[in-house]
Structure 1
Amino acid sequence: MQRVVKYVLIQMIVIAVSFFQDSRAEVRLPRLISDGLVLQRDTKIKIWGWADVGEEVAVSFLNKHFKTKAGADGKWTVELPAMKAGGPYEMEIKASNHIVVKDILIGDVWICSGQSNMALSMERVKERYPDVIAQSQNPNIRHFFIATNYDFKNVHDDLPSGGWKYADPTNVLSFSATAYFFAKALYEQYHIPIGLINSSVGGTPAEAWLSKDGLKMFPEYAKEANRFENNKLIDSILSAERTLSKGWYNRLYQTDEGYRGDKRWYDINYNSSQWDTMSIPGYWHDKGLKDLNGVVWFRKDFEVPESLAGKTVKLFLGCIVDSDSVYVNGVFVGTTGYRYPPRRYTIPEGILKAGKNTIVIRVINTGGKGGFVEDKKYEISSGAETIDLSGAWHYKVGAKLEPLKPATFIQYKPGALFNSMIAPLLNYSIKGVIWYQGESNTARPEKYNKVFSAMIADWRTHWKQGNFPFLYVQLTNFQTENPLKSGWPELREAQLKTLSVPNTAMAVTIDVGEWNDLHPLNKQDVGKRLALAARAKAYGENIVYSGPIYDSKRIQGNKMVLEFKHKGSGLIAKDSDVLKGFVIAGSDGQFVDADAKIEGNKVIVSGKSVNNPVAVRYAWGDNPAGANLYNKEGLPASPFRTDSN
């Protein structure tokens, strides 16, 4: 009996010990410290994580060994010494469990942030850069994508998802295009590993990226952020808007005439000969359907040569406002749910036939102007052959509803993103930041310089790495009008003023935009210009990294003489004998086109009807087409006005 009791006691002890061991928390690393990571060279490096309170953690890297214990909060940190660029290496972390982090490089780490033009991926520009993508194999360029996540109340110490990917023709499609071209240019210059941490969210204003401390400078923003600390408020807003949106789309579907009757309007045998005709591309508001929200169906017959019959081909439909569903010969071939992405669909094998074919597009517009963005490709392409789809289309209204109330984008609110998308990165040593943002602040440009400058200071304070380089993109050219007063030029001016913040640089891009697209495809020049700024500000090269920046003025009779910084090896009027883009005003404040010419390193500006010049402006408009002041290094001058406050 005693033997049995003893055996039972031993088994209970074994079970208890096993339970205790199994219940101990394994040492855990943050998402950033994972296979394929890039560590910042030439500076001390933190490695951190979580374990049981008091648990000893050992870290081994490059034949150096470090020990620490988890604190009362379960967190532990070790600090590695500064190291030169190199790799790949492995790191071991031992505690109650054993972790090996593989394929580690030491190089330069850049935070890539802002709104949609930073978030925009290489996949979106693949037709423009097929050779770049095909030749992108480079394990020394790596990218970590951070998914959108907001939190107004709690400071996060880790990311919910994400991992490091190295550049190759498949992975690179998910890289930020601006960031990839930036990294590519730096790698080609220095041949050191480049790590890109992409923390960007489309549509976000600068104030969404401020911390709670940073918001204290802006009482109205702080008040709004405090309001959204209430999760019940957020849930109620999201719930109400989901209900509203679902009801709107249900009514749209139920009342859409294209889904009623014996044949759907996309049916190959449906007769649309009695429909009205509209020329595509263009917005239907400008073509007779004013103030119409709901569904409009478009239908077109087109001829297919024998050489394309039955083949798999590409269908390009520019951009469509707001969403679309597309059918070819009655077969559904694709849909896009919002206005900005380019419509690129595949018509599968066996659908096209020689002779007459039919394409049908169901377009939903929730508010504003609906239709087809002009000056885009609307065609079927096999590479060698194309079929133009622009021109006359039949159309018919399927349903008409009131505009759908715009959604409340919670992630756009002040302070929404810092806690969840910046705070988890703060232990990670970095080289600097590249930033592409501003479009969402153009409605209130007068605040931007203060907000943006405060954000830079806020990030630097929290990172505790001093005034690391902060390089940003000035807004590109956009839209067709060229007004003297507009949010876009004033926002560019606010960005220009931010150069007063130490260790900053700005890439001017008024020559690489597209008048009809908020997301221009030329991300190569943007990335290259940011890389020039990095070479000067982060790497200490004595190079020309900026286009001309207005410095001072003086009146000389009926002329205004302008001086510039960043002249490089000289000022030029690019691609012309005439300097363009200048306007001048006298005491009446009325701006007129100016005559401008380069004399040495100065620009002399005058106007035929202006005897006493007071102010000059350059490239002052949403889309300053033709503005051509550059330096000889090929970098454009920043827009400016001499009458700025």
Structure 2
Amino acid sequence: MKLKLIILLNIACCVIASATIKPASIFTDHMVLQQQSNVAIWGWAKPSNKVKITTSWNKESYTVTSGQDGKWKVKVSTPVAGGPYNMEFNDGEKLVLTDILIGEVWFCSGQSNMEMPLKGFKGQPIIGSNEAILKSANQNIRLYTVPRSSITERQENSKPAQWKAAAPETVSNFSATAWYFARLLSEMLNVPIGVINDSYGGSTIEAWMSPEDLKPYSEIKIPSKGDSIKEVSRTPTTLYNGMLFPVIGYGIKGAIWYQGESNYERPDRYEDLFPAMVSSWRKNWDNGEFPFYYAQIAPYNYAQLPPNHIGGKFNSAFLRDAQRKSLAKIPNSGMAVLLDIGEEKSIHPANKKQGGERLAYLALAQTYGIKGFGAYSPTYESLSIDKNKAVIKFQNVPNGLTSFGKELNLFEVAGSDKKFYPAKAVINGSSISVSAEQVKIPVAVRYAFKDFVTGDLFGNDGLPVSSFRTDDWDN
């Protein structure tokens, strides 16, 4: 009897091993496909072989012939949100993916503040995470994490992983920022939500960009095939090669991004790289100017990180300012401001709910058209001089500005000598008047322009104003 069982198991293993049809790793049971779209499906089969894909939601069949390398790709039409459905692949042998939902899919990328799981990092908690994990079971929210991979060669496929329905065991290990984003979207839209976490702690923006993207920047060394990778998350192109390129083209509604901490020492270059990266992703995705929402990095005392740089452009406010300026350079974008939740001694703010939900506000308002609530932080618009006062005007202030009854202590003003002094700031509805006794004729104003600071200026809806400067001085 044992011998028969062994023979049967060997036969089963041989059948699995000899199966020729293989969808890309990101296509698994329990996945979510973007609704009302023509979504790309791709994978591998025997070279020059016909592959038939049948979708249960409309009983349609699509036939494609694999190339000489065995790769095939086809676009299938998806209906309005619903499910569960099946998708059958047939190249002479059948493979069926089950429990597929149709809904809204968002791509979530960046570094450790995106990667940080809802249970927190060891010794670094997330506020309210235990209750959030306990109450997380939701068959209409599906999660997928692209496995880490840093490599000098462009990969056709990512490492194997599985789409999973939201439940305490899966959510606890999933991106907290992406989870809070997905949870609010699910609540407000009442459709299935799929979120793809494609992030790597400590990563620089250059690691997420292709060699073609980085070619204009001569100071950036692009590794060759045989080069060693000394910094797995900071070597240019390596995360693009191993984690991004293999999934580019998966049908998505939009993307959210939380990165910049590892570029804080080079804010001027980030101001160029960030819009270039978004433009390249959109072009390669072939999905138009899909929504791109990002978190502005939270304040933190970066001087405590080796090599302990202090002053000048090492002030992370310059990186935050590069992100603020990127709003005008990236079409169909939005920035979630986190100036009020930073922590002086932790680069990973414990309040991930605020960040994830503020990103969701942007999507709900700008992408899904929900009106009547605050979604955008007030943003600096213009500076004018009235005798010894500087007057700052803001955009996105439909109901005025507030400090919630506290004195504003984070404004500075400078004259032509470029020396900044603490300033008195007074709210006048949707503008701020700023003055200092030492500055007779103001030239420039800065707000909360420090490495670590806790913002004290908000819109009436409670969304914080970003740190900003009206000047373009070097330090």
TM-score by length of 2: 0.90
**C-alpha spacing 1:584/1:214, structure 2 compared with 1 (3 Å):** same
Cα offset, 1:80, TM superposition: 1.3
Is the CA contact 2:78–2:102 (under 8 Å) kept in the aligned structure 1? Answer: no
Aligned AA for 2:466? S
**C-alpha spacing 1:195/1:556, structure 2 compared with 1 (3 Å):** same
Identity %: 39
Whole-Å separation in 2 of the counterparts to 1:73 and 1:199? 27
Whole-Å separation in 2 of the counterparts to 1:457 and 1:519? 28
Is the CA contact 2:267–2:313 (under 8 Å) kept in the aligned structure 1? Answer: no
Cα offset, 1:483, TM superposition: 6.4
Match for residue 118 of structure 2 among 119, 122, 126: 122
Is the CA contact 2:86–2:96 (under 8 Å) kept in the aligned structure 1? Answer: yes
Cα offset, 1:541, TM superposition: 3.2
Match status 1:607 vs 2:436: yes
Q: Which residue matches 1:57?
A: 51
Q: Which residue matches 1:475?
A: 297
Aligned AA for 2:327? L
Q: Residue deviations 1:546-594, cap 9 Å, x none?
A: 1110000110000011110111311111342x22310111222221111
Match for residue 30 of structure 2 among 36, 42, 53: 36
Aligned ranges 1:211-290 → 2 under 5 Å: 211-221=210-220, 224-225=221-222, 228-231=223-226, 233-234=227-228
Is the CA contact 1:128–1:521 (under 8 Å) kept in the aligned structure 2? Answer: no
Whole-Å separation in 1 of the counterparts to 2:313 and 2:140? 46
**C-alpha spacing 1:142/1:97, structure 2 compared with 1 (3 Å):** same
Q: Which residue matches 2:386?
A: 556
**C-alpha spacing 1:439/1:100, structure 2 compared with 1 (3 Å):** same
Whole-Å separation in 1 of the counterparts to 2:315 and 2:323? 12
Match status 1:568 vs 2:390: no
Q: Which residue matches 1:166?
A: 165
Q: Which residue matches 1:584?
A: 413
Q: Residue deviations 1:152-179, cap 9 Å, x none?
A: 23x2221122111111111111110000
Aligned AA for 1:148? R
Instruction: Count residues in correspondence.
Output: 445
Whole-Å separation in 1 of the counterparts to 2:237 and 2:470? 34
Whole-Å separation in 2 of the counterparts to 1:127 and 1:557? 47
Match for residue 93 of structure 2 among 71, 94, 97: 97
Cα offset, 1:485, TM superposition: 5.7
Match status 1:489 vs 2:317: yes
Aligned AA for 1:73? D
Is the CA contact 2:52–2:90 (under 8 Å) kept in the aligned structure 1? Answer: yes
Is the CA contact 1:544–1:566 (under 8 Å) kept in the aligned structure 2? Answer: no
Match status 1:196 vs 2:195: yes
Match for residue 451 of structure 1 among 270, 273, 279: 273
Whole-Å separation in 2 of the counterparts to 1:565 and 1:172? 37
Match status 1:532 vs 2:354: no
Q: Which residue matches 1:507?
A: 336
Cα offset, 1:79, TM superposition: 1.7
- Consecutive unaligned residues in structure 2, runs of 5 or more: 1-14, 304-309
Cα offset, 1:48, TM superposition: 1.7
Is the CA contact 2:339–2:453 (under 8 Å) kept in the aligned structure 1? Answer: yes
Match status 1:187 vs 2:15: no
Match status 1:634 vs 2:462: yes
Q: Which residue matches 1:620?
A: 449
Whole-Å separation in 1 of the counterparts to 2:333 and 2:361? 12
Whole-Å separation in 2 of the counterparts to 1:446 and 1:163? 39
Whole-Å separation in 1 of the counterparts to 2:174 and 2:413? 44
Is the CA contact 1:568–1:633 (under 8 Å) kept in the aligned structure 2? Answer: no
Match for residue 517 of structure 1 among 334, 339, 346: 346
Aligned AA for 1:548? P
SS in 2 for 1:109: strand
Is the CA contact 2:257–2:294 (under 8 Å) kept in the aligned structure 1? Answer: yes
Larger radius of gyration: 1
Is the CA contact 1:113–1:435 (under 8 Å) kept in the aligned structure 2? Answer: yes
Match status 1:463 vs 2:297: no
Is the CA contact 1:585–1:613 (under 8 Å) kept in the aligned structure 2? Answer: yes
Whole-Å separation in 2 of the counterparts to 1:99 and 1:448? 45
SS in 2 for 1:427: coil
Q: Which residue matches 1:108?
A: 104
- Consecutive unaligned residues in structure 1, runs of 5 or more: 1-20, 238-407
Q: Which residue matches 1:207?
A: 206
Whole-Å separation in 2 of the counterparts to 1:23 and 1:181? 39
SS in 1 for 2:233: helix
SS in 1 for 2:20: coil
Q: Which residue matches 2:151?
A: 151
SS in 2 for 1:472: strand
SS in 2 for 1:131: helix
Cα offset, 1:107, TM superposition: 0.9
Whole-Å separation in 2 of the counterparts to 1:575 and 1:503? 34
Whole-Å separation in 2 of the counterparts to 1:566 and 1:454? 26
Is the CA contact 1:24–1:52 (under 8 Å) kept in the aligned structure 2? Answer: no
Whole-Å separation in 2 of the counterparts to 1:514 and 1:495? 19
Provide the aligned C-alpha RMSD in A: 2.0
SS in 2 for 1:412: coil
Whole-Å separation in 2 of the counterparts to 1:443 and 1:484? 10
SS in 2 for 1:610: coil
Aligned AA for 1:517? S
Whole-Å separation in 2 of the counterparts to 1:557 and 1:52? 77
Match for residue 66 of structure 1 among 62, 67, 92: 62
Q: Which residue matches 2:250?
A: 428
Cα offset, 1:484, TM superposition: 7.6
SS in 1 for 2:358: helix
Aligned AA for 1:54? S
**C-alpha spacing 1:55/1:31, structure 2 compared with 1 (3 Å):** same
Cα offset, 1:419, TM superposition: 1.6
Is the CA contact 1:486–1:621 (under 8 Å) kept in the aligned structure 2? Answer: no
Q: Residue deviations 1:91-130, cap 9 Å, x none?
A: 1111221111011011111111111110100121466322
